[in-house]
Structures are given as structure tokens and as C-alpha cells.
């Protein structure tokens, strides 16, 4: 499976962006221009069953990670300089990182263990409900940190979301993938997905954990400036980033 890619910028340094569950490549709309200004060629992927990418009611998490790897390799013949994954996208990044080999991997408020084995019918019903209620108006009412543009983008992502693909992944095999030493985990504080106990383990394994107090799960929606400031290796022209 090759995924839909929103491409921007040019140059030898490539940045790959992987959105969270029920999102799309458009979720990065405020981040992409900064990466282009920093000299990156940006590849923002629609994950399987999301955005304009193919659907597959038999998809597994490993299959979704395969699709990420195959799609990136179809665009670039060398490892990306940067790969940023959020939530579910960060889980796929962790599963794909050994093959994709980004010079810098950033995991944003990311669960890096996946239980799998969910009840398919119950999960499908929940995803259908989530899809139905994520309208722009409802998102603005329930997420005060969303701008009007954020709500429109996420509402459009929900319209395009395929519950069957994601339900198949949730019902499939689980797994756990540890970020490699030198990776960055950027989390909201407090975080439902990266606990203080997780932070201690990550630090012990050479992973740099950075926190943004008070941020929402999609940290760049609620704390955009803090998100950018937390990653000077990527966004700051005064810091030598990955090449």
C-alpha cells in the first residue's frame, strides 16, 4: 500500500510527518510552513484509512508501518533527516523507525505500546461514533484551544476517516517499540500517554524527554510556540539540526 502524501518544500533534507488517530496530513498545516522555511522537503502522510489514503478492513499495525516505510522510500532514496509522529502516528513511527532510519525521530505525546486484541465490533462502533461527532462545530465547542481553521481541518479528517481500517488494526496483534537512544519524546504535562514512570525509563535508555506543562494531547494546537521552542534542533536556524 502506498499512502497519500502532501508534499511541500525542496532540498536534500527530508522531514516526514505522521498524524494521530482520526487526523490527516492537514493536521500539520501550521507546522509544515516552518519546516519549509527551515529548508526541509516535507512529506506529510495520510495514514491508512485516513485522509485520501487507501482503506483496508484487514489492516494490521505492522501492515500500516510497512505502508509508511514503502511510501517514504517511494519519495526519497535516503533516510529522512527528521520524522515526527503524533500519538498513533508516533506508534507507527516507532514500529517503522528501524527500517526508515530517520536521523532524528520525535515522538509527540505517544503511546509506544499497543495492546491489540480489541473487540472488533465494539471498536468499530466506537470509531463510527467518534467520526460522527467530530464536526467542526462540535470540535470548537469541546476543544477551546482549537482555532476555527483547526476545527475545519479536523472535521474534514473525520469525514474522510474509515472506521473499518482502524478497527481492524485495534483488533489485530499488539506490540511494543522502544525509541532508540538519541530520540526525543515530547509530551504534554500531565500526559495520559507518557507517565512520569515512563519518563524515568525513557531517560535511562538515552531518550530525551521534554514536557510542555498544560498542553493538550495535540500539543501544537494548544501550545504552538512552546512546541516549536521545544524542538530547536528542527526549527531554529541557529541550531545545527539533522542533515
pLDDT score, position 232: 97
> What is the per-residue pLDDT across 43-95, written as a single tens digit (0 to 9) for each?
999 999 999 999 999 999 999 999 999 999 999 999 999 999 999 999 999 99
pLDDT score, position 49: 98
Name residues of the chain where pLDDT drops below 50: none
pLDDT score, position 236: 85
Helices 120-133, 163-171: inter-axial angle, 10-degree rounding: 140
Q: Which domains does the chain have, with CATH numbers?
A: 5-114+177-235 (3.40.50.1820)
pLDDT score, position 111: 87
pLDDT score, position 238: 62
Owner of C-alpha cell 504535562: 189
- Give the separation between CA 182 and CA 129, rounded to whole angstroms: 39
DSSP annotation of 11 reads S
pLDDT score, position 105: 98
pLDDT score, position 132: 97
> What is the per-residue pLDDT across 13-23, written as a single tens digit (0 to 9) for each?
999 999 999 99
- Give the separation between CA 78 and CA 13, rounded to whole angstroms: 9
- Give the separation between CA 118 and CA 95, rounded to whole angstroms: 19
- Please report which residue ranges of the chain form alpha helices under DSSP H: 31-37, 61-75, 88-100, 120-133, 136-142, 148-160, 163-171, 196-204, 219-222, 224-229, 232-235
| Helices then strands, each counted (H, E), the chain | 11, 9
Task: Please give the model's pTM, rounded to 2 decimal places.
Answer: 0.97
> Cell numbers of 170, please?
485495534
- Please report which residue ranges of 172-231 form alpha helices under DSSP H: 196-204, 219-222, 224-229
Amino acid at each position: 500500500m502506498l499512502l497519500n502524501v502532501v508534499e511541500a518544500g525542496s532540498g536534500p533534507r527530508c522531514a516526514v510527518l505522521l498524524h494521530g488517530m482520526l487526523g490527516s496530513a492537514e493536521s500539520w498545516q501550521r507546522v509544515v510552513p516552518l519546516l519549509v522555511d527551515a529548508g526541509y522537503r516535507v512529506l506529510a502522510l495520510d495514514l491508512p484509512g485516513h485522509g485520501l489514503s487507501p482503506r483496508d478492513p484487514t489492516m494490521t499495525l505492522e501492515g500500516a508501518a510497512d505502508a509508511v516505510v514503502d511510501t517514504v522510500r517511494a519519495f526519497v532514496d535516503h533516510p529522512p533527516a527528521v520524522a515526527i509522529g503524533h500519538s498513533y502516528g508516533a506508534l507507527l513511527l516507532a514500529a517503522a523507525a528501524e527500517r526508515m532510519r530517520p536521523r532524528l525521530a520525535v515522538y509527540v505525546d505517544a503511546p509506544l505500546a499497543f495492546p491489540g486484541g480489541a473487540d472488533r465490533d465494539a471498536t468499530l462502533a466506537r470509531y463510527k461514533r467518534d467520526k460522527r461527532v467530530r464536526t467542526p462545530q462540535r470540535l470548537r465547542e469541546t476543544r477551546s484551544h482549537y482555532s476555527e481553521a483547526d476545527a475545519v481541518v479536523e472535521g474534514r479528517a473525520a469525514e474522510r476517516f474509515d472506521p473499518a481500517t482502524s478497527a481492524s488494526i485495534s483488533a489485530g496483534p499488539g506490540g511494543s517499540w522502544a525509541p532508540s537512544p538519541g530520540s526525543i519524546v515530547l509530551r504534554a504535562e500531565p500526559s495520559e500517554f507518557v507517565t512520569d514512570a515512563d519518563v524515568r525509563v525513557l531517560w535511562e535508555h538515552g531518550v530525551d524527554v521534554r514536557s510542555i506543562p498544560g498542553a493538550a494531547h495535540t500539543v501544537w494546537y494548544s501550545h504552538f510556540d512552546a512546541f516549536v521552542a521545544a524542538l530547536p534542533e528542527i526549527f531554529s536556524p541557529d541550531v545545527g539540526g539533522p542533515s
